C-alpha cells in the first residue's frame, strides 16, 4: 500500500485572471508560481488549453509553456492538456518538438479530446479542419509517429519534433480516454478536479485495459485535485469562496474572472446551485494541513494513484503560493 510520502505531486495552473487584473500580471504570476513550486519539490507544472474564457489566460498553451520553462530549471513543464481536435497533429508535434529541443527532458504533452471551449468557439478555432473528437485515436497515433524516429518511407516530418519522443499523456473526464490510454500503454490523467463522479470507474477501466508499451510497463495514474490550503480550516473556508464563485459563474455562463473571497455565500447561490458546485468540487482539499493530510491519505488508499496534480484558484497570489507550500509540507510528511 502506498503512503502519502510515496506519491509524486504536481501543479495544474489555469493562469487565472482576476477582477480588475491584467493578463500580463496573470502570466507573470504563473511563472512566479512555477518557480516557487519548483523549490517546494513539485514534480510537474502543467497549464491547460481553454478558449473564449475571460478568466483564463492559457489559450496559447505552448507559448505559455515556453515562458514557464525558460524561467525554471528542473521542474517538468507540460500541457494539461492540449485539446488535440483543435489542431493538426503536425503543428502540435512541431510546437512540442521545439520545446523539447530547447528544454530537453523537461516537457510533457498531455492530450484531451474535448474542445476546451463552447461549440461556437470550436468552429472558430477549426474553420476548414474536418477534425473532431471522433478522430482522436488516429490523431494521437499520428502525433506519436511525428515525435518518434523517422521511418524510411516517411514523407512528412515534424521539424523540430522528429525523434524527440516527448512523453505523451492522455487526459480525460470520461471513460473513453481511460480505455484508449490503457490500450496504447500511455500514462493517464483523470480530471477529478472537476469530474470526480467517474474517477473510480475511469481508473478501473484504464488499469483493466492496460497493455505494456515502449514507454510504460505498468499503469500510471495521475488525478487532478482542487486545493485550498491555509493555516486554519476557517481561513481555508473563507478563501474557498473565490473558487465557489468561479464555478458558479461557469455554471451560469457568466464571466470567469476571479472574484475576492466573501464571508458567506448565502444569497449568492440557490440551494441547487450550492449542491452542483459541491458535486463539481467533490474531491477538493479545503482546510488546514492536518485536515488535508487526512483526506489525502483516504484518497491514496482508495485509488492507489501514482501522482496527484493540484489546481489552486485563489484570488490573492500570495495565498496561492502559501497553499502550495503547505501542501508540499503535507506531501513530504
Dihedral angle computed from the Cα positions of residues 257, 316, 58 and 10, in that order, rounded to the nearest 10 degrees: -130
For 53-90, the pLDDT digits (tens) are 999 999 999 999 999 999 999 999 999 999 998 899 99
For 265-309, the pLDDT digits (tens) are 999 999 999 999 999 999 999 999 999 999 999 999 999 999 999
For 120-152, the pLDDT digits (tens) are 766 666 655 555 557 899 999 999 999 999 998
CATH number, span 4-331: 3.20.20.30
Average pLDDT, the chain: 94
Q: Which grid coordinates belong to 275?
A: 449542491
pTM of the model: 0.94
Q: Which grid coordinates belong to 247?
A: 464555478
Measured CA to CA, the distance from residue 262 to residue 272 in angstroms comes to 20
Q: Which grid coordinates belong to 280?
A: 463539481
**Does pLDDT of 6 surpass 80?**
yes
Q: What is the pLDDT of residue 1?
A: 83
Alpha helices in 117-268 (DSSP H): 119-126, 136-147, 176-184, 199-209, 233-252
Q: Cis link prior to 81 (omega < 30° from 0)?
A: yes
Measured CA to CA, the distance from residue 85 to residue 256 in angstroms comes to 24
Q: What is the pLDDT of residue 129?
A: 55
For 147-206, the pLDDT digits (tens) are 999 998 899 999 999 999 999 999 999 899 999 999 999 999 999 888 889 999 999 999
Q: At what angle do helices 289-303 and 317-331 cross, to 10 degrees?
A: 60
Dihedral angle computed from the Cα positions of residues 9, 15, 21 and 24, in that order, rounded to the nearest 10 degrees: 120
For 94-116, the pLDDT digits (tens) are 999 999 999 999 999 999 987 65
HEC string of 247-269?
Answer: HHHHHHCCCCCECCCCCCCECCE
Sketch the domain layout of the chain as residue ranges.
Answer: 4-331
Q: Of 191, 189, 186, 192, whose CA–CA distance to 210 is shortest?
A: 186
Amino acid at each position: 500500500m502506498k503512503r502519502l510520502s510515496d506519491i509524486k505531486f504536481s501543479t495544474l495552473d489555469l493562469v487565472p485572471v482576476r477582477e480588475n487584473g491584467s493578463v500580463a500580471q496573470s502570466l507573470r504570476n504563473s511563472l512566479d508560481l512555477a518557480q516557487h513550486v519548483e523549490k517546494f519539490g513539485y514534480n510537474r507544472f502543467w497549464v491547460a488549453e481553454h478558449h473564449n474564457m475571460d478568466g483564463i489566460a492559457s489559450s496559447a498553451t505552448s507559448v505559455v509553456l515556453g515562458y514557464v520553462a525558460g524561467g525554471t530549471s528542473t521542474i517538468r513543464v507540460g500541457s494539461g492538456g492540449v485539446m488535440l481536435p483543435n489542431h493538426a497533429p503536425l503543428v502540435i508535434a512541431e510546437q512540442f518538438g521545439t520545446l523539447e529541443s530547447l528544454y530537453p527532458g523537461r516537457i510533457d504533452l498531455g492530450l484531451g479530446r474535448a474542445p476546451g471551449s463552447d461549440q461556437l468557439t470550436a468552429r472558430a478555432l477549426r474553420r476548414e479542419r474536418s477534425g473532431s473528437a471522433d478522430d482522436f485515436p488516429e490523431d494521437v497515433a499520428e502525433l506519436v509517429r511525428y515525435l518518434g524516429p523517422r521511418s524510411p518511407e516517411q514523407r512528412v516530418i515534424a521539424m523540430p519534433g522528429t525523434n524527440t519522443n516527448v512523453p505523451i499523456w492522455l487526459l480525460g473526464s470520461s471513460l473513453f480516454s481511460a480505455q484508449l490510454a490503457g490500450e496504447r500503454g500511455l500514462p493517464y490523467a483523470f480530471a477529478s478536479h472537476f469530474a470526480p463522479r467517474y474517477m473510480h470507474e475511469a481508473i478501473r477501466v484504464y488499469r483493466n485495459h492496460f497493455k505494456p508499451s515502449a514507454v510504460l510497463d505498468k499503469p500510471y495514474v495521475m488525478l487532478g485535485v482542487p486545493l485550498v490550503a491555509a493555516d486554519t480550516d476557517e481561513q481555508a473556508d473563507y478563501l474557498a469562496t473565490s473558487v465557489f464563485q468561479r464555478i458558479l459563474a461557469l455554471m451560469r455562463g457568466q464571466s470567469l474572472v476571479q472574484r475576492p473571497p466573501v464571508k458567506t455565500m448565502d444569497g449568492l447561490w440557490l440551494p441547487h446551485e450550492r449542491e452542483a458546485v459541491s458535486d463539481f468540487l467533490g474531491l477538493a482539499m479545503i482546510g488546514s494541513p492536518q485536515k488535508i493530510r487526512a483526506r489525502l491519505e483516504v484518497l491514496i488508499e482508495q485509488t492507489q494513484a501514482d501522482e496527484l496534480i493540484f489546481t489552486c484558484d485563489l484570488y490573492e497570489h500570495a495565498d496561492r503560493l502559501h497553499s502550495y507550500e503547505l501542501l508540499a509540507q503535507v506531501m513530504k510528511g
